Amino acid sequence: MKMPLIATLLALAATGVQAESLALGYSGFYKHMDTVAKARVERAGLGFYLSRQDGQGLCHVESGDVMVAGERRDRVEVLPHGQFLLPFDKQLDLDKAVVMLEVEQPERCDISIRIQAELPAGEVNAAELRQVRDEMQRLLQKMAGWPGKYFVPELKGLHLSPAEPGQRLNGEDRLELSDQQLAAERSLTLPAVRISPWL
């Protein structure tokens, strides 16, 4: 007689962690992607994430679709580090598309939009990193709009993190490069990295 009870408890436990659909308007994302396009940057861009409200990292996005009037128009690509990628399509904006994400406990998640850049593994020189830094400053100002762009703080430098889990940068989890360090003419040999602004 214990087996049915155990099976019921297991079923309840499984139900508790099942992903639920989170519906988000595509237009808000499109506006931000359009800002990046108009900024004419080469390396810097925006990353879309779902952050946990308790500050303990990211929510797990299992999958996603871009829907228009109940029909799927495109898929949402979810990367291993938690970022989700959306198509940049004016027609989806005009059609009032909805981004449907499958997420565990979506009520505990908030949208997080991050300025970032990615560089492949290999040698990178200071001039390339300075270009990334300048593009990130430009994006910050573009996103702040007018008159907010006049109050955007100046970047102090860049944060570099490994793009792949388990990688290290000179033995550290993260590398901080100040503006003074970026001004020096030198090169670094790095694994693939994800770069964020140091404010």
Q: pTM of the full predicted structure?
A: 0.83
Q: What is the pLDDT of residues 54-75, one digit of tens each?
A: 999 999 999 999 999 999 999 9
Residue 160 reports pLDDT greater than 60: yes
> Per-residue pLDDT averaged across 112-124, rounded?
95
Give residue for tokens 């308790």: 54
Tokens of 100: 């449907």
Rounded distance, CA 199 to CA 186, Å?
Answer: 23
Residue 86 reports pLDDT greater than 60: yes
Rounded distance, CA 101 to CA 65, Å?
Answer: 7
The gap between the terminal CA atoms of the chain, to the nearest Å, is 61
Tokens of 69: 């009037």
Read off the pLDDT band of 171 (50, 70, 90): confident
What backbone phi and psi angles, to 5 degrees, belong to 18? -70, 145
Highest mean pLDDT among 11-20, 34-43, 159-168: 34-43
> Per-residue pLDDT averaged across 106-128, rounded?
94
Q: What is the mean pLDDT of the chain?
A: 88
Residue 49 reports pLDDT greater than 80: yes
Cα angle value 145/118/44 (rounded, 5°): 20
